[in-house]
Amino acid sequence: MAAKIMVKDLSLWYDGKQALKDVTMDIPEKRVTAIIGPSGCGKSTFIRCLNRMNDIVRGCRVKGKVTIDGESIYQNNADVVKLRKKVGMVFQKPNPFPFSIYDNVAYGCRVAGMNNKKTLKEVVERSLKKAALYEEVRDRLGDSAMSLSGGQQQRLCIARTLAIEPEIILMDEPCSALDPIATAKIEVLIRELREEYTVIIVTHNMQQAARVSDYTAYLYIGKLIEYGITRQIFENPKEENTEKYITGRFG
């Protein structure tokens, strides 16, 4: 199976303080990869490198190579906008725009220049269906997105990301602000998305990582300690550090 994303010796500094140290790993295509580790170990920082969201943060310096489909994304003339259409992102706290549900999902397409009403409607419907939200909102697409519950808002954000048809979906602790029922729905969704997309999910909930992912990477203070098949990591990890974290002896 080809590696969709190849990360080599990735290091990152925020205002001189090093947040990632020489992280190297290959992320396979059309699988779910979970990133786990104690708080502040660089999990979110790491995935934000994959769609260059760290560019927005002031004082951020990046070294190393990140290759997606064979192309390095940090090279000088890289098209960041195009990258972000290929690599979508769902954030920890749902952040729908203060527009209608329809406009939220259509946002990415409109921004990309798609204006045909019929096409947009199809895309919106399809994305909402994929995000398992369509049935709940089909009668009120014109309502404000802010009137949805937390779990629905998060699924809306996922639909919004799916609408631009990315190949890779990054999820930064997508369920941490949600109740258990909403969390369960999104976990089911993630398992379904795996068939079409490469999913990378950051989570501090190890049971969730075990339930949802095929591969797991364990990061500790900016370093990649262990990376392997999820079952193996949670049943019998190779590194002592990993074992300690997973069994809760620290962090």
Partner 1 sequence: MVKGENGLWVLRSWLTRSKLPAMVALIFSCGSAIIGFTALGTGHHIPIYQLLFLMLGTSFLASGICSFRRGAKNKRKIIHLLAFGLIELIIAFSASYAPSTIDLWGLNAAPYSNFLFSFGAVLFGLIGVSLAIGPLYDFSPFGNQKSAYLLLIIAILIVLYPLAIIIGQVVINGAPGITWEFLTEDVRNLGQEGGIFPAIVGTLLLMLLIFFIAIPLGIGCAIYLEEYASGRFSFIVRIIKTSVTILRGVPSIVFGLFAFAFFVPLFGPSFLTGGLTLSCYALPTIIRASGEALKSVPQNLREGSYALGATKWQTIRRVVLPSALPGIITGAVLGIGEAAGETAPLLFIGTFTGVSFPPSLFDRVQALPLHLYTLFGMRGAWDVMQNAWAAAFVLLLIILVMNAIGLFIREKYRREF
Partner 2 sequence: MGRDKMKSRFHGELKEIKKDVLRMGDLAKGMLKNSIAALMKQDNELADEVLSHKEEIMDMDDKIEHRCLQAIAMYQPMARDMRVIGACLKLITYLTRIGRYGKDIATVAKELSGKPHLAKLVSIPHMAELVDGMISDGLTAFEKKDISLLENFGERDDDIDALRYAIFRECLTYMMEDSKNMTRCMHYIMIARYLERCADHACKMTEKITYAITGERVEIK
Per-residue tokens: 241: 């550090």
Work out whether 249 is an interface residue with partner 2 (CB under 8 A): yes
Stretch that binds partner 1, among 37-45, 110-118, 194-202, 219-227 (CB under 8 A): 110-118
Work out whether 207 is an interface residue with partner 2 (CB under 8 A): yes
**Which backbone phi and psi does 55 adopt, to 5 degrees?**
-60, -30
Identified binder of partner 1 from the candidate list 61, 82, 140, 231, rule CB under 8 A: 82
Identified binder of partner 1 from the candidate list 2, 81, 188, 229, rule CB under 8 A: 81
Q: Whose Cβ is closer to partner 1: residue 177's or residue 221's?
A: 177
CB 15 within 8 A of CB 182: no
d(CA 234, CA 227): 11
* Number of residues assigned to the chain: 251
Identified binder of partner 1 from the candidate list 19, 133, 137, 157, rule CB under 8 A: 157
Residue 163 one-letter amino acid: A
Work out whether 59 is an interface residue with partner 1 (CB under 8 A): yes
Residues 6+ apart with CB under 8 A from 127: 105, 159, 160, 162, 163
Per-residue tokens: 62: 């990046």
Stretch that binds partner 1, among 25-33, 115-123, 160-168, 174-182 (CB under 8 A): 160-168
Count residues binding partner 2 (CB under 8 A). 13
Work out whether 39 is an interface residue with partner 2 (CB under 8 A): no
Q: Is the dihedral of CA 144, 191, 89, 13 positive or negative?
A: positive
Identified binder of partner 2 from the candidate list 206, 212, 217, 224, rule CB under 8 A: 206
